[in-house]
């Protein structure tokens, strides 16, 4: 049958953003609006005619609003099949009206439980009952009923009605129904997760349910033959991230761009001083801290200039004009930059320099002072691995100098920088640093001594006086021999090897200072 013209609508919402515009549009097309409590008060205050659902059902709201819309007069009008004579006859027999549109959004449960001092009683009162029931009923009957659950749908519904004589198309109603069931599923999952914590299931509930919403479909995945999309998680608006960053310039982001931008941002978030990171294939090939962002950027790019070509940059400050001038130097080229923001002069420079113009992707991530995500997820075949994120500072009061040689204050400063950095390098990870700058990184090698060799090669003739950080213990003293031969003066590592004493003895032999942190930082 043809799509039914919308004669009547039920509107009952918690979030009333843009509702006045939507309801006026419905009223102007002759739609009779029925509403409840606060929504009816809002509509009437905006001069929009509406009827009280309680007056229609003959049953008052009860229990502080817990019981409002759960009535056969309401659900019969939503669920009736307009092409079934027996359904329509039943409505007529009992004096039930049809409702061709339902506009509902739910009590703000997630916002409520996010408040620091919320009580269980307050949370429970924000568990919506009638709202999800209305949504599910209308979505089930989408052949005849339009279900609106978001202000983002208002204009599409009004446009469809104007183009189709007061009706919506089946294609739109089906999409609205899909959105509606996703809406209630996300809502129920938030409630279930909260209850799991309340009953003491701890950090790892028996059933893990997390809702991710598609943010963008990407051109392709890690390789051109792979399909890909990016999804926003439930905490996307609470943590510093690249998904919500505002793109100010450049082509659309690729899968690999997003991976590297995330890594670049993660590194600089750990620095209290102005810092810049340079990422290639998810590993840092440059990183530095300095008194100014421009100096940090210049030093980071100098860490491994060859690898830095076509890299991704991360900055933990607003990119200023001086920093932009550094990046505009001949011979430098980057794919993308993420910073807290970009000053107008910096933006002008970076988008007009002939070698870049519209090619370089500039991402403003906003406030970077927010706490990072507490948990990480990783897919494996048939399931998911969950762990708390490796973002916390290791307690320095637990660090132990295990050698006869004590590190100088300057060495400790560089060791701290190197230690913070090595957790972002794929294991086995070795980083060499000096004066708050990455000189060389050995990443992803199956043998730790090979990572040491690579980092030494990358550092070149700048290595004398550098410090070394290792993400895990040294299984043998061979790496210490290499460190001594190349002028490395201090080391930092977790400790914990059966051969720790051999490693300590080698350091003492060469006059190298070494710190054990007691914390490992594998990255796979």
Scanning 199-287, the segments in alpha helix (DSSP H) are 255-268
Torsion of CA 246, 248, 254, 260, to 10 degrees: -70
| Active site (annotated) includes residue 71 | no
- Candidate list 82, 281, 325, 410, residue with the active-site label: 281
Distance from C-alpha of 413 to C-alpha of 462, rounded to nearest angstrom: 18
Of the listed 5, 82, 140, 410, which one is catalytic? 140
Query: How far are the Cα atoms of 8, 115, 452 from residue 308, in angstroms, in the given order?
Result: 62, 43, 20
Indicate the SS3 state at residue 375: strand
Angstrom distance (rounded) from CA 470 to CA 156: 56
Separation of alpha carbons 523 and 502, rounded Å: 26
Taking CB atoms within 8 Å and a gap of at least 24, the contacts of 229-232 are 230/255, 230/258
The 10 Å Cβ neighbour count of residue 217 is 10
> Which helix (H) or strand (E) segment is 275 a member of?
strand 275-280
Chain-centroid distance, C-alpha 270: 17
Q: Identify which of 295, 321, 312 has the alpha carbon closest to the alpha carbon of residue 260.
A: 312
Q: Which two tokens stand for residue 440?
A: 């060389």
281 classed as catalytic = yes
Nearest 5 degrees, angle CA 480-CA 407-CA 463?
50
Enumerate the active-site residues.
140, 281
């Amino acid at each position: 049958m043809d799509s039914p013209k919308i004669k009547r609508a039920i509107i009952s919402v918690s979030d009333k953003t843009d509702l006045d515009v939507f309801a006026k549009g419905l009223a102007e097309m002759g739609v009779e609006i029925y509403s409840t409590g606060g929504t009816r008060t809002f509509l009437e205050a905006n001069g929009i005619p509406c009827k009280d659902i309680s007056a229609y059902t003959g049953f008052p709201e009860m229990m502080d609003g817990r019981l409002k819309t759960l009535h056969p007069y309401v659900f019969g009008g939503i669920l009736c099949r307009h092409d079934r004579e027996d359904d329509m006859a039943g409505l007529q027999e009992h004096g039930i009206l049809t409702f061709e549109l339902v506009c509902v959004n739910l009590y703000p449960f997630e916002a409520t439980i996010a408040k620091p001092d919320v009580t269980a009683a307050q949370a429970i009162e924000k568990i919506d009952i009638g709202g999800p029931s209305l949504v599910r009923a209308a979505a089930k009957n989408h052949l005849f009923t339009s279900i609106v659950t978001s202000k983002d749908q208002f204009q599409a519904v009004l446009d469809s009605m104007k183009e189709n004589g007061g009706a919506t198309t089946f294609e739109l109603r089906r999409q609205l129904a899909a959105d509606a069931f996703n809406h209630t599923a996300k809502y129920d999952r938030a409630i279930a997760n909260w209850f799991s914590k309340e009953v003491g299931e701890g950090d790892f509930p028996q059933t893990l349910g997390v809702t991710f919403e598609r943010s963008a479909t990407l051109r392709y995945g890690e390789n051109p033959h792979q399909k890909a999309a990016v999804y926003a998680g439930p905490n996307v608006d609470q943590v510093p991230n690249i998904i919500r960053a505002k793109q100010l310039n450049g082509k659309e982001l690729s899968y690999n761009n997003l991976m590297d931008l995330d890594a670049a941002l993660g590194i600089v978030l750990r620095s209290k001083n102005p810092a810049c990171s340079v990422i290639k294939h998810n590993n840092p090939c440059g990183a530095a801290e300095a008194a100014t962002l421009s100096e940090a950027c210049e030093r980071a790019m100098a860490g491994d200039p060859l690898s830095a070509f076509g890299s991704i940059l991360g900055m933990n400050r607003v990119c200023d004009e001086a920093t932009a001038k550094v990046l505009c130097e001949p011979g430098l080229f980057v794919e993308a930059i993420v910073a807290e923001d970009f000053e107008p002069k910096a933006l002008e420079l970076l988008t007009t320099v002939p070698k870049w113009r519209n090619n370089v992707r500039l991402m403003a991530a906003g406030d970077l002072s927010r706490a990072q995500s507490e948990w990480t997820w990783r897919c494996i075949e048939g399931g998911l691995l969950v762990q708390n994120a490796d973002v916390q500072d290791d307690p320095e009061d637990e660090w132990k100098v295990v050698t006869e040689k004590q590190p100088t204050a300057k060495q400790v400063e560089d060791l701290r920088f190197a230690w913070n950095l090595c957790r972002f390098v794929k294991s086995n990870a070795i980083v060499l640093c000096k004066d708050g700058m990455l000189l060389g990184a050995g990443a992803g090698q199956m043998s730790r001594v090979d990572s040491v060799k690579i980092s030494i090669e990358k550092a070149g003739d700048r290595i004398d006086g550098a410090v070394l950080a290792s993400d895990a213990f040294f299984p043998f003293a061979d790496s210490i021999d290499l460190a001594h031969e190349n002028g490395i003066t201090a080391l930092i590592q977790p400790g914990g090897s059966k051969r720790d004493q051999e490693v300590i003895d080698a350091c003492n032999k060469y006059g190298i200072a070494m710190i054990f942190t007691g914390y490992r930082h594998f990255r796979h």
